[in-house]
Amino acid sequence: MQLEDYLDFITPDDIRIKGTRIGIETILYEYIYRRRTAEEIAQTYSSLTLEQVYATILYYLHHKETVSNYIGNWLEYCLQSEQEQDKNPPPAVVRLLKLKAEQEPGKVALNAN
């Protein structure tokens, strides 16, 4: 079996573990940035087999430059999405923040400074 057989290449910016909705970025973020072992990752994501996790890591190691760019683009997208959501929170979040401000007027005044 080839490493690519473990993955679904939906688009250049969307590579998932075959048979799941889990993107390789999920596994690789845990592996690269959180320094989790393949075994720890497989325990966290019970829908994945240890073999799938190892195949994803091995794919990364074999295509490091390409996959590093993929991860970098994903992280940038996440940051931009988070910033956009902070600028334009959903109506439910606005209501909750308003309720919180009404219940804790002293804290809001302190945060304003």
> Check: CATH 1.10.10.10 for 3-88?
yes
How many other C-beta atoms lie within 10 A of the C-beta of residue 59?
21
Query: pLDDT for 27-70, tens place per residue?
Result: 999 999 999 999 999 999 999 999 999 999 999 999 999 999 99
Question: How many degrees, rounded to 5, is the angle at CA 28 between CA 12 and CA 78?
Answer: 65
- Quote the distance between the C-alpha of residue 98 and its chain's center: 29
How many angstroms separate the most distant Cα atoms in the chain?
63
Angle, helix 24-32 to helix 64-87, in steps of 10 degrees: 100
**pTM tops 0.85, yes or no:** no
Number of H helices, E strands in the chain: 6, 2
Query: pLDDT for 66-84, tens place per residue?
Result: 999 999 999 998 899 888 8
